[in-house]
Structure 1
């Protein structure tokens, strides 16, 4: 009976990891895919590789901590209760993936474990309060940093990097020799190549960060119960994440890369940089990083900022007239054109926020990113509160 439960537990854990691959590939590589810097297939492959590296190295520490700090009695992690927790995490993430919205894996997993702890009276409220506080503060920081960059610094930044995509592929594959050798395409300029490498590298960093924290969301309950060893748990989780990245992640890549706001390569680098820096900061504090929320809100902030007049700081300080009226900022940004003085813009060229920012998609993203963790939390609590589950 125990062996059968263990098999079920492993399958449920892989189901969770599969949905983690679907929900986290979008925030990591959505900006790069939206900027046509990388294909969805290549993004999935990189996600699988760097997620596993992060999980195998630092992730094992998070696996250990997730099952010991959030609850004051680890005895609640029986094989039966672990399966139930993983089930609710997987179902909740699947709901987000079906709607094409990348849900926060950390919020969903912590919510399910909190439901177990609350039902059993062993939830550490101090630890839970610290985690929730940072979940509220970090997206606000990401939003305002991205908004400020989009409004005041984006035009100058884009002129410096000048990374508008050219016609044709970035690289050509020379297959004349024994081994295929990638070469820079003749229409690709150096700045474009540098920008592409930068945004993909940041995506790899985010995938690595996801592995360090999110592998615990899939396997921590089983490892904590003592029924599954650490190394095989990480291998199984990594395989399932890769499968999810190649399949169900395609919808979240579209949502994060193009549906919310237009993302030229420069914008993709800004979003990925802001998000990854915040995720690394939270990780150093030991907080389960909800980089899905941070990346989403950063995209929203950048889109909002770019929908306003992207003046430089000196212009904003010395201007006598209000810069609230915008010009056709995107065209000027991307083509390197000189912007008219503040207050002398052509009203007919003023873009609305809706030109860059899809309110309907944004509302769907924000709604689902709150609903999905709630499904896991409430479902787990009600199950452990009213059904006889061993250890609770």
Structure 2
């Protein structure tokens, strides 16, 4: 029976990793894809490599935290309860990915684990309160910093970067599959500054993907690791491989949402969004807070689009055109789904552990 539960746990952990790849690739590389710097396949490849690097280096410390600090008694994590928690997390994330909206894996995972701890009477409320406080503050900061930049400083940045306010017709770097061995092809660039800007936005995307690996690998493997049945290294490799599969498949929907649907992102805008969101995420990680970088990046994109649209509407320079910078309907759908998914995970996990006898703790 324990072997069967372990196998189920591994499958569900891989399912969570798959959905993490779908949720987090968009916020990391959506700006670069939306700006036409790289294609979706290249974004998935970079996401896979950088996420794995973060998971293997800093990730183990975050796994130890989530597996031990949020619950006063880690023994609450049994094979049955861990598999159930991961199933709830994976199902909730899949809901967001299916809708094409990247959702916070940290909020979803912590919510499910907190529900388990609450049902068992072992939840450390002080730790949870600190995490939630930062989750509320960080997206607001990202939105308003990006909005201020979009409304007041964006034209100056355009002049300083000497980049045209346009999107590329085709990606600067794309994967060509003709022939036996796929190869990368680099299109021409309009000057050295565009090349530098393209490198910058991809580099910051890689930094965000690395940061995602440091925190989000715990969401896929921490409950299973807490049971003591498997070594952490093997679980991290499993989770990273599953994230790569998600990045190459289901992440295409979230890349489309964040790169094109919420707000048009030419290269200068992509750089602004990437710098703001990555700075906030790295800052949170440095003080030991599980960073909800999906929410921060999304709200930075929304803030920049809103700031640019409000500036042009105010000046009358974009009559009939501000909708290309900011889509309120899509934005409302994104924000709603990003709040619904963690709530579904938290409530679902609590109902499961509190009222279903086979999962009672």
- Which category describes the TM-score, using the shorter chain as reference length? over 0.9
Residue equivalent to 1:386: 355
Structure 1 residues 42 and 169 mapped into 2: Cα distance closer, same or farther (>3 Å)? closer
Contact 2:36 2:171 (8 Å CA) reproduced: no
Structure 1 residues 19 and 184 mapped into 2: Cα distance closer, same or farther (>3 Å)? closer
Residue equivalent to 2:202: 200
Tell me, yes or no, if structure 1 residue 118 matches structure 2 residue 118: yes
Residue equivalent to 2:66: 66
Q: Which moved more, 1:179-188 or 1:289-298?
A: 179-188
Distance, in Å, in 2 between the alignment partners of 1:380 and 1:238 is 24
Aligned counterpart for 2:302 among listed residues 296, 300, 310:
300
Displacement of 1:187 after TM fit? Answer: 4.8
Distance, in Å, in 2 between the alignment partners of 1:101 and 1:365 is 6
Secondary structure (helix, strand or coil) at the match of 1:307 reads: helix
Distance, in Å, in 2 between the alignment partners of 1:230 and 1:201 is 29
Structure 1 unaligned spans of 5+: 174-178, 311-323, 329-348
Q: How many residues align?
A: 355
Structure 1 residues 187 and 26 mapped into 2: Cα distance closer, same or farther (>3 Å)? closer
Displacement of 1:263 after TM fit? Answer: 0.6
Residue equivalent to 2:249: 247
Distance, in Å, in 2 between the alignment partners of 1:2 and 1:38 is 45
Taking structure 2 as the reference length, the TM-score comes to 0.93
Contact 1:261 1:299 (8 Å CA) reproduced: yes
Q: Within 5 A, what are the aligned runs for 1:205-354? A: 205-309=207-311, 325-328=314-317, 349-350=318-319, 353-354=322-323
Distance, in Å, in 2 between the alignment partners of 1:93 and 1:22 is 9
Contact 1:146 1:274 (8 Å CA) reproduced: yes
Residue equivalent to 1:51: 51
Write the deviation string for residues 127-183 of structure 1: whole angstroms up to 9, x where unpaired: 11111110100011001100111111110101111233566664699xxxxx99979
Q: Within 5 A, what are the aligned runs for 1:63-142? A: 63-142=63-142
Structure 1 residues 242 and 185 mapped into 2: Cα distance closer, same or farther (>3 Å)? closer
Please state which structure has a larger fraction of its residues in helix: 2
Residue equivalent to 1:367: 336
Taking structure 1 as the reference length, the TM-score comes to 0.86
Secondary structure (helix, strand or coil) at the match of 1:67 reads: helix
Distance, in Å, in 2 between the alignment partners of 1:83 and 1:118 is 17
Distance, in Å, in 1 between the alignment partners of 2:182 and 2:354 is 59
Structure 1 residues 187 and 289 mapped into 2: Cα distance closer, same or farther (>3 Å)? closer
Write the deviation string for residues 37-91 of structure 1: whole angstroms up to 9, x where unpaired: 0000000000000000000000011001101111111010011000000000000
Residue equivalent to 2:29: 29
Q: CA RMSD in A?
A: 2.2
Displacement of 1:325 after TM fit? Answer: 2.5
Structure 1 residues 122 and 144 mapped into 2: Cα distance closer, same or farther (>3 Å)? same
Distance, in Å, in 2 between the alignment partners of 1:326 and 1:268 is 23
Structure 1 residues 169 and 142 mapped into 2: Cα distance closer, same or farther (>3 Å)? closer
Displacement of 1:391 after TM fit? Answer: 7.5
Distance, in Å, in 1 between the alignment partners of 2:188 and 2:107 is 46
Contact 1:101 1:368 (8 Å CA) reproduced: yes
Contact 1:31 1:263 (8 Å CA) reproduced: yes
Contact 1:170 1:184 (8 Å CA) reproduced: yes
Structure 1 residues 171 and 91 mapped into 2: Cα distance closer, same or farther (>3 Å)? closer
